[in-house]
Amino acid sequence: MIVKLLVFVVVLLIIYVAFFKKASPAQKKRETEDKKIGSDIMIECSECSTFVSEKEAIIKDGKFFCSKQCAKLR
Ligand SMILES: [Zn+2]
């Protein structure tokens, strides 16, 4: 009976460690993504003066544009 209990505890530990190892990198990734969103820089479009996030902005000839239409990339 004691052996069975030990095996049960070991299995539980393995499951716990497996879950813990899987959960922690995802949580860290989520934290860094939140930080990126928090520090997102807004840039003014050179064409229509609309503010867009740095990620969405289109850079052409050293100027920032809100869309392909404004950058005349069509
Ligand atoms: Zn624009």
> 68, 47 in Cβ contact below 8 A?
no
- Residues of the domain holding 53: 40-74
Q: Is the dihedral of CA 20, 24, 30, 35 positive or negative?
A: positive
61 CA to middle of ligand 1, Å?
15
Based on the domain organization, do 5 and 33 belong to the same domain? yes
pLDDT digits (tens, 9 = 90+) for 25-59: 666 666 666 655 556 789 999 999 999 998 889 99
Q: Enumerate the H helices of the chain as residue ranges.
A: 2-38, 68-71
Based on the domain organization, do 33 and 67 belong to the same domain? no
Based on the domain organization, do 23 and 50 belong to the same domain? no
74 CA to middle of ligand 1, Å?
13
Based on the domain organization, do 49 and 33 belong to the same domain? no
Based on the domain organization, do 21 and 50 belong to the same domain? no
Q: Give me the CATH number covering residue 56.
A: 3.30.60
47 CA to middle of ligand 1, Å?
5
pTM for the complete prediction? 0.46
Based on the domain organization, do 6 and 31 belong to the same domain? yes
Q: How far apart are the first and last CA of the chain?
A: 75
Total domains in the fold of the chain:
2
Q: What is the pLDDT of residue 2?
A: 81
